[in-house]
Amino acid sequence: MSSILRTEGLSKHWGAFKANSDITLNFEDGARHALIGPNGAGKTTFINLLTGSFPPSAGKVHFAGRDITGLPQHERVKLGMTRTFQINTLFAGLTVLESVLLAIGERKGQQYVWHRTVANQKAEIDEAMELLGKLRLERDADTVTRNLPYGKQRLVEIALALATKPKVLLLDEPAAGIPSAESAELFAVIAALPREVTILFIEHDMGLVFRFAEKITVLVGGKVLTEGTPAEISVDPRVKEVYLGEAEHE
Ligand SMILES: Nc1ncnc2c1ncn2[C@@H]1O[C@H](COP(=O)(O)OP(=O)(O)OP(=O)(O)O)[C@@H](O)[C@H]1O
């Protein structure tokens, strides 16, 4: 499989504190790749370096064969690297369909998409409904987002990210705060997304990680401890030590 995303010696230091140190990783096209590690390991920092939320102290990010280290966030989204954001107040007051139409319109550079007639928006509505179908949200299309259960609101956030047509989707604890019955369902929907979307996710629930990831990278203290398949990671004594050590301190 070819690589869609690669980091080379990626580092982020705040003064003397090294949140990410010399991270060299490869993400394969179509992967379902989990990033795990104890609290403060540097997982969110790594995602922020990928999206361009802040510049690295050293190292490079290559995306789809291109060095994107210096690119601003919106340019990375245009190229196809997107993360989810929490639905803001504007989106929460719209229906699910309206929200996705807005995101599709934004991608296409259309303004005031909600003022256009239905006939004018047929292509966008078809695209939005297809997207909602993939996320099992088609029955909720006309529901105001804030009235949905929390788990479905997280799915709407993913729908909005998918409306940008990402090649890589970055998910930072997509199931955080969701009851466990709903979170497994959420992950099942995420895992079933088309393979043209590569998914990199941070998740603390090891049950979900081992069920849905095909590859796992373990970060500890801002560095890569190891990576491998779930079968390899589950028997790695260094990983056990990190998590057992954490459990003992809780
Ligand atoms: N803007 C910042 N300035 C200084 N230190 C920061 C900043 N952002 C994060 N850190 C520190 O970097 C370390 C790594 O944080 P990060 O959020 O990346 O870890 P994490 O692995 O995502 O943790 P968690 O699992 O708890 O979300 C933490 O000690 C954090 O306090």
Query: Per residue of the chain (250 residues), what is the pLDDT tens digit?
Result: 689 999 999 999 999 999 999 999 999 999 999 999 999 999 999 999 999 999 999 999 999 999 999 999 999 999 999 998 777 766 788 999 999 998 998 888 866 545 556 667 889 999 999 999 999 999 999 999 999 988 899 999 999 999 999 999 999 999 888 888 888 889 999 988 999 999 999 998 999 999 999 999 999 999 999 999 999 999 999 998 988 666 555 4
Residues 92 and 151 in one domain: yes
Residues 101 and 73 in one domain: no
Whether this model's ipTM surpasses 0.90 comes out as yes
Among residues 111, 137, 165, the one where a domain terminates is 165
Three-class SS of residue 12? Answer: strand
The per-residue pLDDT for 244 is 67
Question: Which mutation among 21, 36, 43, 53 tests ligand 1's pocket best, with the greatest number of atoms within 8 A of CB?
Answer: 43
Residues 69 and 110 in one domain: no
Residues 119 and 154 in one domain: yes
Residues 180 and 63 in one domain: yes
Atom of ligand 1 nearest to the CA of 222: 14
Residues 64 and 91 in one domain: no
Residues 185 and 76 in one domain: yes
The per-residue pLDDT for 246 is 62
Residues 121 and 233 in one domain: no
Question: Which mutation among 45, 201, 249 tests ligand 1's pocket best, with the greatest number of atoms within 8 A of CB?
Answer: 45
Atom of ligand 1 nearest to the CA of 41: 21
Q: How many angstroms does the Cα of residue 54 sit away from the middle of ligand 1?
A: 13
Q: Whose CA is nearest to atom 16 of ligand 1?
A: 42
pTM attached to this predicted model: 0.91
Q: How many angstroms does the Cα of residue 34 sit away from the middle of ligand 1?
A: 18
Tokens of 80: 């196809």
> What range does the domain containing 102 cover?
85-165
Strand order in the sheet with 81-83: 81-83, 168-172, 198-202, 32-36, 215-220, 223-228
Q: How many angstroms does the Cα of residue 168 sit away from the middle of ligand 1?
A: 23
Could you tell me if the CB of 19 is within 6 A of ligand 1? yes
Residues 66 and 175 in one domain: yes
Among residues 165, 196, 229, the one where a domain terminates is 165
Residues 189 and 214 in one domain: yes
The per-residue pLDDT for 15 is 93
Could you tell me if the CB of 54 is within 6 A of ligand 1? no
Could you tell me if the CB of 57 is within 6 A of ligand 1? no
Q: Which of 224, 249, 221, 225 is nearest to 237 (CA)?
A: 225
Atom of ligand 1 nearest to the CA of 14: 4
Residues 185 and 138 in one domain: no
Tokens of 41: 């390991």
Residues 182 and 63 in one domain: yes
The structural domain count of the chain equals 2
